[in-house]
Structure 1
Amino acid sequence: MIFQNVKDVFNVLFEAVSEGVIVVDKTQHIVAANQSAESMFGYTDNDLIGKHLDTLIPKPYRANHQSHVDGFMKQQKKRQMGKGRDLYGAHKDGNSFPVEAGLNPLQINGEDYVMALVIDISVRKKQEEELQELNNELERKVIARTEQLSETVEELKLANQKRDIEIQKRIEAQNKISNALKKEKELNDLKTKFLSLVSHEFKTPLSGILTSAMLLSKYKLEEQQNRRDKHIKIITDKVHYLNNILNDFLSIEKLETGKVSYKFSNFMLTKVVDEVIYNANMLLKEGQVIKYPENIDGLFLYQDEKIVELALGNLVHNAIKYSPEHSEISIQITQDESITTFKVIDEGMGIPEKDQEQIFNRYFRSENALLIQGTGIGLNIVKSHLNNLGGEISFSSAEEKGSTFVIKIPNKAKE
């Protein structure tokens, strides 16, 4: 029989092959199957011979199988089945299992056949599924860990922000402490200077007053009137000096506490200048002269008249005090649409360059003026008042050549 001859041929070709080998004719009936194929699908003793190939195909896949076979028979080319999709075989017990299959067209005795090499990939599929599950689990863990890391990063950001805020607070606290210590040191320095000032500036005039008072009691004769007048003048001058110091202290206290109030009015500059020069004339040293400012008739200011007089008077008195005999003190005044400028120029001892930056500090006195009577608070008071009134004070000076102090103040105060 042809069938028997074909089988004999196939037995020679594939019986020893470990993969499952199934041969079907053009009607898709199985004409040969090796032992590996029978064992794979649960059959024995040539049970598969003569059965239709659908026997080995799960029912859900049978509908499309015929069209695939027809296409393959037309092309008659060797190929892999199910490329790009999963293939399943039907076990005799009704279960399905994953397979791979390669198709090979054959011609024996003029008849067309197809040989299929089938491999059970259940173990590999299970391993792939397990690997996929492991990958999925790893991916889930990565996602979870990423979320945890993101949360940790956010927590670190918040912690860093809190740390930065804490550091900033500490820096601010340290700055406050540092500033407080600095202010305390400055206050202690001011107290020391104040006590030194009181000790010197009050003690000396008081001693002079006491001495003159004692001497006055001895000059009882009429011809001693000149001596009495001399000591009365000394007492008057000393009392006037002490009164000025006390007024300066009161001015400082008012400026620091903000209790100072200004009284604005419209006044002629000549009135202030005349008053300042009148008071200064009593302080002039021998041969000293004050040069009156030119072209100030008709100039007015709307400011606090007493403060302007105080500022100009302080500069003129300092010029007299720190200038030698037979020298000139010049007052110059100019006015434009908004600002009035006062200049007081002397030929005095000048201010050492190293002391100039501190000249407006309270109680500060330059090194070359320590032996001359003074408190070191006048310029500080003047500067504070001018700042309050929108003005400013500056100077230029050279030691042994004199100084020029400049005051600039608005023509009209802002009330």
Structure 2
Amino acid sequence: MNNSIADIPVYRAIFESSLEAILIVDQDGFILKANPACYKMFGYSTGELIGKDLKEVIPQKIRAIPEEKKISRTRNQELLQPGKQMNLFGTKRNGAQFPIEMQLSLAVIEDKRVKIIFVKDISKREKQVRPYCETVANLPHLRSMTIERNIVRRELENKYRILGEPTNDLEKEVAERTKACQAILQKLIDANLALEDQMLETKEAEKKSLASQAMFTAISKNFPKGVIIVINANFDIVYIDGGELYRLGFKKSQFDGLNIDDINVFSKKRIARIKEDVKRTLEGEHLSFETRFMNKNYAVNSSPLLNGNNLIKWTLFVYNDITKQKQAEADIRMALVQAQELNKLKSRFISMASHEFRTPLSAILSSAILIEKQNGPGLEIKREKYIRQIKSNVRKLVVILNDFMSLGKLEEGKVPVKLQHFNLVAFSKDLLEEIGPTKKRGQTLSLKSNKEFIEVYLDPKLLQHILINLLSNAIKYSEVDQDILITLKSGKQGICIEVRDKGIGIPIQEQANLFERFFRAENSLNMQGTGLGLHIVKHYTELLGGTVGFESEEDKGSVFRIEFPLR
């Protein structure tokens, strides 16, 4: 309790440097805390007053009553009323008594009521006023002397009038004495007025000081989104408060009075940074920077604090929470990047569409013209050939369009996942039958499974898109008369789908970028393609909770492997 009283946020400097003695007393009259001015005033060494009865230093005697008369209990209670100013006597350690002026305030610290007593040594003021007080005390005597002298003067005047002798000298002396008394009386009145003015100014200054202290405490304690910290040249935290301190789950008591090196929630790197900032601020710099602590962003501003001699004694650090502002900035930047990426995607799509759509559309147009010319009897086989070409090229266009649509949904994060149970073996057979017409002359599409029935819990539309992309690539990058194999494996760990071909393969130096958007290996640039298929395959697989990998060797083929954990 002792330390918490003297270490109230910014009052510590005031408490320690105050020229006026300050005593903190509990309800039983025992001293809890005294500032340095108090020890000096009463002649005690630091710490000797703690625990003493207040009566040992202020025996509750009034100047107007002889010292040997004790004040009654009722009078003592009256003297200790809050806000009442009293002129009493204090007792030094050596037993000497001296006049004091005392004022009492009440406070609640840690749910306990205490008395805060302000004591002022008025010995000098007493010495200055005493001559005038003595003169006032002698005024009745002077008055009686004046009256007596006037009586004597009148008697002498009468006598001298009778004798006929002059009385000018006597009248002159009486007039000078009267003038001197008037001058003394005027000085006494002026001194009393000056003393009253000084007391009023002192009381007003005390009220302003208390109001300022209360205001600063309220501001710092309720500092809404930050923390205020005052650090001295020894790197001790002399004051800390603010709403953010409590939101982070800390208490003032965890930091008050601690040295920066002893704060265990700070890393060594952060402690070194704080000490460097304190040194720079003590040298007169005003710092402004941003820092991150406990996943939150703070704007930090520091200022040097001056003592009464205009010397830098402390540093003030104000931490303001700017996490929401930083998140808003990041969101804006992300939106800008996405807008830029979308513009690039649109430009790439226009450029690629003009190239990729030209070939299948030309083939469709040519086949349609040939069908028109082969309209006679006996030309059915040729017409079927051209129709197959039309269907194949339409499917190619559909794949390209699906890739671009899928990419747009991925970029916007709008790809829905609808899981359901189905037989993977039957699903794969239907898929091979659907994609069969697109294979090259002599190519074969085969299915191999370690079980007749493999139940999975996946999104069939997304899985269809994944496998169509892998099988289309295998067909496109394999020569005629080559075998393409899809293998299904069901085990204790999960499901594995492999698509194996004997095509052109992927150069080893380009394999790291294979799943990047729009990437195409150098040995495939002369073939039709968007460079989006494998990028979409990877993202769709991850949406379904799986992983994709591959093995490839140039001119020997590739194996793409999709794995899903058991659900």
Normalised to the residue count of structure 2, the TM-score between the two structures is 0.42
Q: Identify the residue that residue 265 of structure 1 maps to in structure 2.
A: 421
Do 1:350 and 1:401's aligned partners in 2 also have CA atoms closer than 8 Å? no
Q: Within the alignment, does 1:404 sit opposite 2:551 as a pair?
A: no
Q: CA deviation at 1:264?
A: 2.3
Q: Name the CA shift for 1:150/1:230 in 2 (closer, same or farther; >3 Å).
A: same
Q: CA deviation at 1:182?
A: 0.4
Identity across aligned pairs (percent)? 31
Q: Deviations over 1:128-176 (max 9, x none)?
A: xx9xxx9xx9999699669747856875894983984575454334323
Distance, in Å, in 1 between the alignment partners of 2:508 and 2:202 is 82
Q: Identify the residue that residue 393 of structure 1 maps to in structure 2.
A: 548
Q: Name the CA shift for 1:244/1:94 in 2 (closer, same or farther; >3 Å).
A: closer
Distance, in Å, in 1 between the alignment partners of 2:388 and 2:427 is 26
Secondary structure of the equivalent of 2:226? helix
Q: Identify the residue that residue 41 of structure 1 maps to in structure 2.
A: none
Unaligned runs of 5+ in 2: 1-63, 70-93, 100-129, 139-193, 228-297, 300-319
Q: Within the alignment, does 1:161 sit opposite 2:317 as a pair?
A: no
Q: CA deviation at 1:283?
A: 3.9
Q: What are the residue-to-residue correspondences of 1:122-161 with 2, within 5 Å?
A: 148=212, 158=223, 161=226
Distance, in Å, in 2 between the alignment partners of 1:286 and 1:170 is 62
May I ask how many residue pairs the two structures share in their alignment?
A: 303
Q: CA deviation at 1:333?
A: 2.5
Q: Name the CA shift for 1:241/1:85 in 2 (closer, same or farther; >3 Å).
A: closer
Q: Identify the residue that residue 179 of structure 1 maps to in structure 2.
A: 334
Distance, in Å, in 2 between the alignment partners of 1:61 and 1:250 is 104
Do 1:339 and 1:408's aligned partners in 2 also have CA atoms closer than 8 Å? yes
Distance, in Å, in 1 between the alignment partners of 2:508 and 2:343 is 26
Q: Deviations over 1:86-123 (max 9, x none)?
A: 699xx99977xxxxxxxxxxxxxxxxxxxxxxxxxxxx
Q: Deviations over 1:312-362 (max 9, x none)?
A: 33222212222345655443332234621112233432166456446253x
Q: Name the CA shift for 1:407/1:149 in 2 (closer, same or farther; >3 Å).
A: same
Secondary structure of the equivalent of 2:429? helix
Q: Name the CA shift for 1:344/1:139 in 2 (closer, same or farther; >3 Å).
A: farther
Q: Name the CA shift for 1:84/1:380 in 2 (closer, same or farther; >3 Å).
A: same
Q: Identify the residue that residue 470 of structure 2 maps to in structure 1.
A: 315
Distance, in Å, in 2 between the alignment partners of 1:206 and 1:230 is 16
Distance, in Å, in 1 between the alignment partners of 2:403 and 2:452 is 31
Equivalent in 341, 344, 351 of residue 499 of structure 2: 344
Q: Identify the residue that residue 84 of structure 1 maps to in structure 2.
A: 96
Q: CA deviation at 1:184?
A: 0.8
Q: Deviations over 1:255-305 (max 9, x none)?
A: 7584746372332x3323323333454444456555542423243324444
**Alignment RMSD, CA only?**
5.0
Q: Name the CA shift for 1:153/1:83 in 2 (closer, same or farther; >3 Å).
A: closer
Q: Identify the residue that residue 354 of structure 2 maps to in structure 1.
A: 199
Do 1:355 and 1:367's aligned partners in 2 also have CA atoms closer than 8 Å? no
Q: Name the CA shift for 1:178/1:262 in 2 (closer, same or farther; >3 Å).
A: closer
Secondary structure of the equivalent of 1:293? strand
Q: CA deviation at 1:186?
A: 0.6
Distance, in Å, in 1 between the alignment partners of 2:135 and 2:524 is 125
Equivalent in 294, 298, 301 of residue 456 of structure 2: 301
Distance, in Å, in 2 between the alignment partners of 1:390 and 1:305 is 14
Q: Name the CA shift for 1:169/1:61 in 2 (closer, same or farther; >3 Å).
A: closer
Q: CA deviation at 1:399?
A: 4.8
Secondary structure of the equivalent of 2:497? strand
Q: Identify the residue that residue 278 of structure 1 maps to in structure 2.
A: 433
Distance, in Å, in 2 between the alignment partners of 1:60 and 1:259 is 95
Q: Name the CA shift for 1:217/1:166 in 2 (closer, same or farther; >3 Å).
A: same
Equivalent in 348, 355, 375 of residue 530 of structure 2: 375
Do 2:392 and 2:437's aligned partners in 1 also have CA atoms closer than 8 Å? no
Distance, in Å, in 2 between the alignment partners of 1:354 and 1:150 is 70
Secondary structure of the equivalent of 2:96? coil
Do 2:505 and 2:555's aligned partners in 1 also have CA atoms closer than 8 Å? yes
Q: Identify the residue that residue 67 of structure 1 maps to in structure 2.
A: none
Normalised to the residue count of structure 1, the TM-score between the two structures is 0.55
Q: Name the CA shift for 1:171/1:367 in 2 (closer, same or farther; >3 Å).
A: farther
Q: Name the CA shift for 1:206/1:285 in 2 (closer, same or farther; >3 Å).
A: closer
Distance, in Å, in 2 between the alignment partners of 1:148 and 1:240 is 81
Do 1:293 and 1:331's aligned partners in 2 also have CA atoms closer than 8 Å? yes
More off after superposition, 215-224 vs 386-395: 215-224
Q: Name the CA shift for 1:243/1:316 in 2 (closer, same or farther; >3 Å).
A: closer
Secondary structure of the equivalent of 1:175? helix
Q: What are the residue-to-residue correspondences of 1:221-236 with 2, within 5 Å?
A: 226-236=381-391
Q: Identify the residue that residue 359 of structure 1 maps to in structure 2.
A: 515
Unaligned runs of 5+ in 1: 1-58, 65-81, 96-129
Do 2:515 and 2:538's aligned partners in 1 also have CA atoms closer than 8 Å? no
Question: Which is higher, the Rg of structure 1 or of structure 2?
Answer: 1
